[in-house]
Amino acid sequence: MIYHIFDRTKLTSVPVDDAQNKWFDFNDFYAFDGVANDDIIVKELINSDDFLRMILRKFNPNKNFLSHCFYFEKPKGAPAELSDFIITDAALNQFPSLAERVQITKNALDFCAKTNIFGDTRPLVTFLNHSGHFNIKNPTACDSHLLVTECERIMSNVADFSDYQMDCCLSQNARDIKQIRQKRNTNIIVANDINEGNSIVKSFLLNGWVGYGYLTGLDMRIVMNSRANLQDNSGAIAKIEK
């Protein structure tokens, strides 16, 4: 079942329920009992704060660490070297600590494993490092180096890890010019903070990429797009309901 959550003060024309879709005002959904782990919950026309508050109270009694993944599909006509990728976290955790960024990474990898969104590809995770190398004078470069080391220690069985600049995540030409040995594109890009992540998301959306947002950290599938791109909810559902 797909549960579409809205705010009745904002969405006055509500679609009719059918065999696969049910529409709930978020207050009514909070009192509803019957959601299964294989169901999908979709944020429709509702403030993110209200939606998250309902999710936390209803589905997170153990206080799991939650984060957000934004999956981008390469648009038609884009250069062949580009590929689909995830950016995290661009919507939930504002200025995560190093330990929280490790958890953000784990949430993204768990999401990929549960949804099989990249198929059989072993994920490559890149922590954005604007120096492109270790630089003791650059806190971001130091942090990204530490994150690679820690994630390789605890998650090397499920993913590969690296740290370099945004262009090198998606362009083999950029990697060749900068003499970076990595021979494939990044699957999961981990932003330094919400401002960086959100700027990347908006830049790609404005340049014709289709993006789908997901809340991660719980044992369920939750679509969480911005109110500005709710038209992509159907695509986001289709991507994870297989």
Q: pLDDT tens-digit profile of 103-153? A: 999 999 999 999 999 988 999 999 998 766 666 777 777 888 899 999 999
**13: in domain:** no
At residue 156, φ and ψ (nearest 5 deg) are -65, -15
CATH of the domain at 194: 3.40.718.10
**204: in domain:** yes
**240: in domain:** no
Q: pLDDT tens-digit profile of 32-46? A: 988 988 899 999 999
Task: Please compute the mean of the pLDDT values over residues 230-236 and round it to a whole number.
Answer: 85
Cα separation, 156 vs 160, whole angstroms: 6
Cα separation, 213 vs 206, whole angstroms: 16
**170: in domain:** yes
**122: in domain:** yes
Confidence tier at 231 by pLDDT (50, 70, 90):
confident
Whether the CB-CB separation of 45 and 10 falls below 8 Å is answered with: yes
**105: in domain:** yes
- Number of domains comprising the chain: 1
List the one residue out of 98, 125, 95 whose CA is nearest residue 195. Answer: 95
* Domain boundaries, position 134: 71-214
Q: pLDDT tens-digit profile of 39-94? A: 999 999 999 899 999 999 999 988 999 999 999 998 888 888 888 999 999 999 99
**111: in domain:** yes
- pLDDT beyond 80 at 228: no
**8: in domain:** no
* pTM as predicted: 0.91
Q: pLDDT tens-digit profile of 152-172? A: 999 999 999 999 988 889 988
Distance of CA 4 to the CA centre of its chain: 19
pLDDT for res 242 = 65
